[in-house]
A and B are shown apart, each in its own frame.
Chain A
Amino acid sequence: MIEEQLTYRQYAWKQFKKNRPALVSFYVLILLVFVAVFSPFLANDQPLYIEYKGESFYPAFRTFSDESAQDQVIDAQTGDTINFIFKEVDWRRVELESVWWPLVTYSPNQIDKYNRDYTNPNGEQRLRSATGEIIEMPSRLRHVMGTDKLGRDVASGLIHGTRISLLVGLVSMSIAVIVGLILGASAGYFGDFEIKLTRLQFWFGWLGLFLGYFYGFYVRGENMSLAFREGALDGTLSVLFGFVIWGLVVFIFSKVGKYLSVGSFLRKIVYLPLDSYVNRMIEVLNSLPIIIVIISLSSLVSGGSLWLLMVIIGLTGWTGVARLIRAEMLRIKQMEYIQASKVLGFSNFRIIVKHAVPNGLAPVFVTFAFGVASAILTESGLSFLGIGVPADVVTWGSLLSLGRAEFEAWWLVIYPGLAIFITITVYNLIGEGLRDALDPKHKK
């Protein structure tokens, strides 16, 4: 038998493909991403294409780039010019020569006043026609998954909720992985007795920690609250900038401390117990009921904000990644190639980033997949409670919570529940598949 020569990556992909459920999940995930990206064109109350009085328009695309887009058309019979704003026209009630509707013909927050009070997806649905009389809903325009109390379409909410769920999972876990990688890798690589500092440098480092906080956050406090008033994204960026300043100040101070170390007392070598610090942080975070922490933190900002929620979930969820990569680092540190690169005189930074971390990354992918699943679960749980997510944003969790108020409306429970279930299963199965594929122990 001829052994194929495969790189690790090819081998992993081959193993992954052998795992049928994981592969199917992967395709489902691609579908979900597709839905999330193109949600404005999959569920919209504006048609994709219409022919109105002999002219062609693309309302969904026009309103996507410009909320208040308007246009005009000349009526051939009377010769009048009809001006219209796309958003304000209910195209269902206009007689059009030709129309291409999106998959779901409603926007998530659009209120259909003829089908309010929990319209059953299988029951009677009404429409006010062009002539003004109430008629039975044409099948193309039906609310396929029913409506809520106000008459908002559930299917449209689901499609737009996909984007939020995927975004929350991805962004928050990216933050968690970045924080976890930095802290875990440095803790594992340096351990407690690797970073040597002079005594003065150690003290200056602590001084820098306080001063960095001062310059990064205290002095910029005004700016930051202003930025938060502008929008949550601006505020988050401003906070991140604060962290950058903090890090810079600490760095400068430790350099200055090294330079100033004179005399045997100040030059005495002490060790920075980085590993212990990181471990204590992990322990504290793990002993807190994370969901309560997240809820109380996100309730501090009135009205709620998705970006803030993502950051909070990310900043509380890095412990798993950090522990994994730390353990990997402890193993990899002893490897010969690391010692070789040390002998070659590479900087620690280069060894960690180019040699050590890439070899310990495989399990991180697995945690990433599982972490995304749990982040989505957290977010939907929070929006189910109505905390942390702005009230006008429709998410799967908020749809589900609407169903709690009215037992009749099973479609408000089943469909969002299924959506959450499918997404989480998909991520978990992919995580499972990745673990099997990336771990040579599970070779079949």
Chain B
Amino acid sequence: MIIISLLAFVISLNSPTDPVEKLVLSAANESDLNSESSATEQLRQEVRAKLGLDLPVFIISLGSFADCDTLYRIPERSHQGMLSSLTSQYGNWDEISKYYHDLVAYSKKIDGYKPDSVVAKNYSKNDLNELLNSSSLTLKNILEVSNDEQIEYAFNNLGEKFNKHHLLFDEVAGELSKLKGSYANIKETSSEWKTYIPALYWNGFKNQYFLWLFGDSERGRGGLIRGDFGNSYSDNKPVGEKMWEMFPYSFFLVIVSIILAYLISIPLWIYYAYKKDSLFDRVSSVIVFMLYSLPSFFVATWLLYQFANPDNLWWFPSNGVKNPDTFNKDWAWYSLDKIRHQAPYFVLPIISFSYSSFAFTSRIMRVSMVDVLSSDYIRTARAKGLSEKKVVLKHALRNGLLPIITMFSNVFPAAIGGSVILETIFGIPGMGSAVYEAILGLDIPMIIAVFTLTGFLTVIGYLFADILYAIVDPRISYNKK
């Protein structure tokens, strides 16, 4: 579990988007879009604090001797990337930091630059705005790129612009050359050797991972161990709540399909053992084989085409699950009407879900059956003159069941993995489709929540399998002797 949580955490760190931007965007959508930039800035600060992005990542961090160990304090993620890339190229943090501060200050200055009003009269208002905007954009661009050529190009670009309109920019042009000087300084005093010396930084226990795991009341985070997965990036709702809404759908489908698959395949398997090497055996083995090779998404699409098609057989709705409350609020959860209302939405999904589980189980059963029936003790049992019924039910069945029980622990992750595709096809608002959307929208807390939950379910699956083992095989005992 710890490893899974760490893994999920690592994946979340490497996601290419900046979570702050996403959350701020979704929060801004709720209020007014044209909020003042200072308000956005403040919001950004709050979100950063809540996500703990102003903290180091882990207790310790591995880096090079040249690195700055407090890089995470810089708010913009793109700037962080630029700085770390520059450091790994030139390895002299002091100069780079000076360059960065100069650059930020300069960029702010250009942003708020009001040219001399006498000179500004020579330009039309549009031209003036255009000039100022483009130069501030160029500077913002310099703050994000680390490639030498790109930086030089942008500087030259800016310099030319300033030369051309030197009257307009005479107050700020001087500082540009200073900035260029500090960039040249980075390259001159480059100490690349420093990047080859590893260094370990101690960050203490106030770090992102601990915040994520244990929470912090000051920041309003419960932490994973208190069941707080954080807020979804897409709509800023707590992931835990969203999970509770979706979990029943997926769990219901997975459980029903697994039970159905077992219910069908175990009797089939017994019958199969009776009729070994008959025509039935050969035909059914071919069928089982074909089932196993048919991708479940193909079966699902085909089912929809056949049975949820207005031009063909329109027996079932083609997608989604309707909330029965919108239809009639007075139904109790167990009422027959409600079940009748809900059932059509679930028929096709259940068929597809249990189909894929069934193909999986019956295949493993067939293999185990061939093994068991050709083993020596079955031959002995037959030689003793036991009836075929006894041979199959008493001797073969228990041993044949072992691989299926082993499989039980893998069924949960497999079913949830499979549900990603199937739920998307049928439009069921369960965990699978949620994970699909979360991945497309890079909604990391959601992905982590699903990861953690499946890990948990797998552990339960293992437990279940172990208990069943002990029941089926008396030789297996968990008591110490």
Contact = CB atoms under 8 A, between A and B. Distances in A.
B455 A292 contact: no
Given A384-B297, A387-B439, A408-B311, A429 B454 contact: no
B416 A289 contact: yes
B185 interface: no
Interface string A288-304: 11111001110110100
B11 interface: yes
Given A291-B420, A407-B304, 11 more contacts: A221-B88, A287-B454, A287-B462, A291-B418, A300-B11, A373-B293, A381-B421, A410-B305, A413-B301, A413-B302, A429-B289
B298 interface: yes
A413 B454 CA distance: 31
A417 interface: yes
B414 interface: yes
Interface in B264-318: 289-290, 292-295, 297-298, 301-302, 304-305, 309, 311-312
A36 interface: no
A330 interface: no
A284 B196 CA distance: 33
Contacts of A410: 305
B198 A292 contact: no
B3 interface: yes
Interface of B: 3-4, 7, 11, 14-16, 62-64, 85, 88-89, 195-196, 198, 289-290, 292-295, 297-298, 301-302, 304-305, 309, 311-312, 374, 410, 413-414, 416-418, 420-421, 424-425, 435-436, 439-440, 442, 447, 450-451, 454-455, 458-459, 462
A385 B436 contact: yes
A44 interface: no
Contacts of B305: 407, 410, 413
B344 to A, nearest CB: 18
A40 interface: no
Nearest to A213: B62
Contacts of A397: 297
A346 interface: no
A287 B4 contact: yes
Given A214-B198, A296-B11, A287 B440 contact: no
B413 A297 contact: no
A228 to B, nearest CB: 12
A222 B15 CA distance: 17
Nearest to B436: A385
A403 B301 contact: yes
Contacts of B298: 400, 413, 417, 420-421
Given A210-B62, A288-B4, A404-B301, A300 B295 contact: no
A193 B447 CA distance: 39
23 contacts: A211-B198, A219-B64, A288-B458, A289-B451, A289-B454, A290-B417, A292-B416, A292-B435, A292-B447, A296-B439, A300-B14, A377-B295, A385-B421, A385-B424, A397-B297, A400-B301, A404-B425, A407-B312, A408-B311, A410-B305, A417-B298, A421-B298, A428-B292
Given A219-B195, A288-B4, A288-B455, A296 B374 contact: no
Nearest to B147: A226
A242 B374 CA distance: 49
Nearest to A214: B198
A140 interface: no
Contacts of A215: 196, 198
Contacts of A300: 11, 14-16
B414 A302 contact: no
Given A404-B425, A407-B305, A214 B64 contact: yes
Contacts of A210: 62, 198
B374 A441 contact: yes
Contacts of A296: 11, 439, 447
A120 interface: no
A200 interface: no
Contacts of B88: 219, 221-222
A299 B440 contact: yes
A380 interface: yes
A84 interface: no
Nearest to B418: A291
Nearest to B458: A287
Contacts of A420: 295, 298
A288 B451 contact: yes
Contacts of A421: 290, 293-295, 298
Main SS of chain A's interface residues?
Answer: helix
Contacts of B290: 421, 425
A218 interface: yes
Contacts of B309: 407
Contacts of B418: 291
Contacts of B292: 428
A237 B298 CA distance: 35
Contacts of A385: 420-421, 424, 436
Contacts of A286: 410, 413, 458
A417 B295 CA distance: 8
Given A289-B454, A413-B298, A218 B63 contact: yes
A207 B89 CA distance: 25
Nearest to B442: A299
Contacts of A407: 304-305, 309, 311-312
B451 A292 contact: yes
Interface in A339-394: 373, 377, 380-381, 384-385, 387
A159 interface: no
Contacts of B462: 287
Contacts of B293: 373, 421, 424-425, 428
A295 B420 contact: yes
Nearest to A381: B421
Given A210-B198, A400-B298, A290 B14 contact: no
Interface string A218-241: 110110000000000000000000
Contacts of A289: 413-414, 416-417, 450-451, 454
A214 B454 contact: no
Residue from A211, A287, A295 having most chain B Cβ neighbours under 10 A: A287
A332 to B, nearest CB: 21
B464 to A, nearest CB: 14
A289 B457 CA distance: 11
A369 to B, nearest CB: 12
B413 A290 contact: yes
Residue from B64, B290, B305, B410 having most chain A Cβ neighbours under 10 A: B305
A428 B301 contact: no
B439 A299 contact: yes
A334 B232 CA distance: 54
A287 B62 contact: no
Nearest to A384: B297
Given A287-B455, A373-B293, A381-B295, A297 B195 contact: no
A218 B64 contact: yes
Contacts of A292: 416-417, 420, 435, 439, 447, 450-451, 454
Nearest to A414: B302
Residue from A292, A424, A432 having most chain B Cβ neighbours under 10 A: A292
A106 B302 CA distance: 27
Interface in A73-110: none
A408 B304 CA distance: 12
A441 B425 CA distance: 43
A408 B309 CA distance: 9
A232 to B, nearest CB: 15
B426 to A, nearest CB: 11
Nearest to A376: B295
Contacts of B425: 404
A253 to B, nearest CB: 12
B358 to A, nearest CB: 16
Contact of B295 (A290, A424, A432, A441): A424
A141 B283 CA distance: 40
Contacts of A284: 3-4, 7
B18 to A, nearest CB: 14
A222 B410 CA distance: 39
